Amino acid sequence: MAYPPSLTEAQKQYLHSSLTDYALAHGLVVRPADSLAPTNPSNTLATAAPVTLFPSLFPREAWMEARDVQEMYNELYVRVSRDEKWLGEVMESLKGVDEFMERLWAMHLKLRASGFAQSLSLGLFRSDYLLHQAEGDEEVSIKQVEFNTVSSSFGALSTRVSDLHRHLFSIGAFPSSPALNMDALPANPALDELAAGLAAAHEAYLAQQRKQKKNNVVILFVVQPGERNAFDQRWLEYTLLKTHSTPVLRHTLAELHSLAHISPSTSVLTIPHPSGTTVEVSTVYFRAGYAPTDFPTQTEWDAREMLERSMAIKCPTLITHLAGAKKVQQRLAEPNQLEYFFPSSYSNLISRLRRTFTALYPMDAHSQPGKLGRHLALQNPEKYVLKPQREGGGNNIYRTKIPTFLNSLPSDAHFDAYILMELIEPPAARNTIVRGGELLEGGVVGELGVYGVALWDAAENEGGLRVNREAGWLLRTKGVESEEGGVAAGYGCVDSVCLV
């Protein structure tokens, strides 16, 4: 089957203009890059977010499996977050070679020594996959790229792109194709589910504090200055207000350093409201603080520490943020680690999780797997990607660039800051990426992300999981020639699934 169907020039124009106007009218937008809008008076300009012209074909069974294992993945990362000793050993291995991780972990340990004010914890997670087809095999399966525990973005825009493609189908903007029908284009609940997760934390806080639902308790979004993907976050804010009557305020870490106050006696976090009142913060949702560049000065570090110390529920706490390290993913793929975290009654689910793993190697000189990792990275790098403990895209080193990169490090002790991962090579498809008003047609690869919501009580060892849900999905598509697929980092675009 030829997919996507070909377009006449007139069809292409109708599809492109219908898509653009729908995106602009429905807030499927980002702030423009400076190059696109050199003058942007009072930040009044927005531009259609990069999306695909057609929804991309995606095997229904693989999509179902990724969604089915999400609750199990949520539970795994909740269990990792609770196991300070296990996580501490992983963090120990990054000491002296990854200053950022070391500093976050030190902050966790320092605050832990004086005891945490809040034991409830919220995770808005996203597990990312590429499709994998073994040679000579008909079946395609999902292989995990990474698991995100902090700032998992694009939930709102991904809901909007599913709506967009359903709309374009409804108005007949797609030429007919056997693949394209309404059953193949599922509505994506990510926006509502993620907002419901934040609302659940807010409600839990109010119940804990024996407070009525009031306007003087808010959810705080911690954001980066000049964030271009602000509307993805704004949609969560608007949904929280409309569906859950829960107000939101947004601030950067630097702003919070001077605005936020923490009560010495109760650890309650308060911030001023622009109306002149003071409001209490139930939940701190981090869409910043995952990259070293989010902490240009001590001010931002101090603000992060104050937020962590407070009574507000954090999404995520420092320990859950660190549980999303690539090093944790690598360690979890070692033999018997899943068995360590789950009781034996989970054996069936454990094998389903393990089926999503691809080969991962440590890079230390002291273990057998580490020696193998070093050998592959230096002698045989063509099939591998080298990853530091960073988030946000654009940080990995690919294939033959790996040895030169490693040899440029100050010493081979610094290899330990990385993990080596086998490259997943998904089947290429065709689509058209619509970006900055241009249509770029060619070979593409899609990365499926599945969102998860977990709310748990860290003070309880078992049974403290209050909410555990699969929360919709994201399909991000990039040109085959690009190694990275991050939308915000400028490599890819938001897509939706056409299930086959």
Active site amino acids: 126, 146, 148, 153, 326, 387, 391-392, 476
| 298 Cβ contact partners less than 8 Å away, ≥ 6 residues apart | none
Number of residues that bind ligand ADP (CB under 6 A): 20
Q: How far is the CB of 141 from ligand ADP (least distance, A)?
A: 14
Please report whether residue 485 would count as binding ligand ADP according to CB under 6 A: yes
The stretch among 214-222, 409-417, 429-437, 483-491 that binds ligand ADP (CB under 6 A) is 483-491
Residue from 148, 188, 224, 337 that binds Mg ion (CB under 5 A)? 148
Residue from 315, 421, 450, 475 that binds ligand ADP (CB under 6 A)? 421
From the list 415, 387, 368, the residue with the least C-alpha distance to 325 is 387
Residue from 98, 308, 391, 470 that binds ligand ADP (CB under 6 A)? 391
Residue closer to Mg ion, measured from CB, 314 or 476: 476
β-strand partners of 449: 128, 474
The stretch among 74-82, 166-174, 299-307, 480-488 that binds ligand ADP (CB under 6 A) is 480-488
Burial of 430 (0-12, 13-18, 19+ CB in 10 A): middle
Please tell me whether residue 215 adopts helix, strand or coil conformation. Answer: coil
Ligand-binding annotation for 155, yes or no, is no
From the list 222, 157, 128, 121, the residue with the least C-alpha distance to 451 is 128
Q: How far is the CB of 146 from ligand ADP (least distance, A)?
A: 4
Please report whether residue 220 would count as binding ligand ADP according to CB under 6 A: no
Ligand-binding annotation for 126, yes or no, is yes
**Tokens matching residue 127:** 């597990």
Q: How far is the CB of 386 from ligand ADP (least distance, A)?
A: 10
Residue from 160, 374, 387, 469 that binds ligand ADP (CB under 6 A)? 387
- Cα separation of 455 and 123, whole Å? 6
From the list 170, 193, 152, 161, the residue with the least C-alpha distance to 49 is 161
**C-beta pairs of 84-90 under 8 Å, 24+ apart in sequence:** 84/112, 84/319, 86/340, 87/319, 87/322, 87/323, 87/328, 90/325, 90/327, 90/328, 90/331
Which of ligand ADP, Mg ion, none lies near 387, with the C-beta cut-off 5 to 8 A by kind? ligand ADP
Residue from 75, 232, 447, 495 that binds ligand ADP (CB under 6 A)? 447
User: DSSP string of 126-157?
Assistant: EEEEEEEE-TT---EEEEEEEEE-S----HHH
Q: Using an 8 Å Cβ cutoff, are 145 and 130 in contact?
A: yes
Q: How far is the CB of 477 from ligand ADP (least distance, A)?
A: 10
β-strand partners of 121: 314, 456
Residue closer to Mg ion, measured from CB, 16 or 476: 476
Please report whether residue 192 would count as binding ligand ADP according to CB under 6 A: no
- Cα separation of 435 and 49, whole Å? 7
Ligand-binding annotation for 481, yes or no, is no
Number of residues that bind Mg ion (CB under 5 A): 3
| 227 Cβ contact partners less than 8 Å away, ≥ 6 residues apart | 31, 233, 287, 288
φ and ψ at residue 118, rounded to 5 degrees: -120, 125
Which of ligand ADP, Mg ion, none lies near 130, with the C-beta cut-off 5 to 8 A by kind? ligand ADP
Please report whether residue 447 would count as binding Mg ion according to CB under 5 A: no
Residue from 32, 392, 403, 490 that binds ligand ADP (CB under 6 A)? 392
Ligand-binding annotation for 430, yes or no, is no
The stretch among 90-98, 166-174, 203-211, 418-426 that binds ligand ADP (CB under 6 A) is 418-426
- Cα separation of 34 and 31, whole Å? 9
- Cα separation of 455 and 436, whole Å? 38
User: Which single residue brings its beta carbon nearest to ligand ADP?
Assistant: 485
| Footprint on residues 124-163 left by ligand ADP (CB under 6 A) | 128, 130, 145-146
Residue from 423, 465, 467, 500 that binds ligand ADP (CB under 6 A)? 423
Ligand-binding annotation for 437, yes or no, is no
Residue from 75, 98, 280, 391 that binds Mg ion (CB under 5 A)? 391
- Cα separation of 359 and 236, whole Å? 36
Residue closer to Mg ion, measured from CB, 65 or 146: 146
What Å distances lie between residue 77 and 82, 87, 124, 470, CA to CA? 9, 11, 11, 14
Residue closer to ligand ADP, measured from CB, 7 or 316: 316
Ligand-binding annotation for 141, yes or no, is no
**Tokens matching residue 246:** 């829960």
Ligand-binding annotation for 389, yes or no, is yes
**Tokens matching residue 245:** 């009557």
Interacting residues toward ligand ADP by CB under 6 A: 128, 130, 145-146, 358, 385, 387, 390-393, 395-396, 421, 423-424, 447, 484-486
Known binding-site residues for Mg(2+) equal 146, 148, 391
Interacting residues toward Mg ion by CB under 5 A: 146, 148, 391
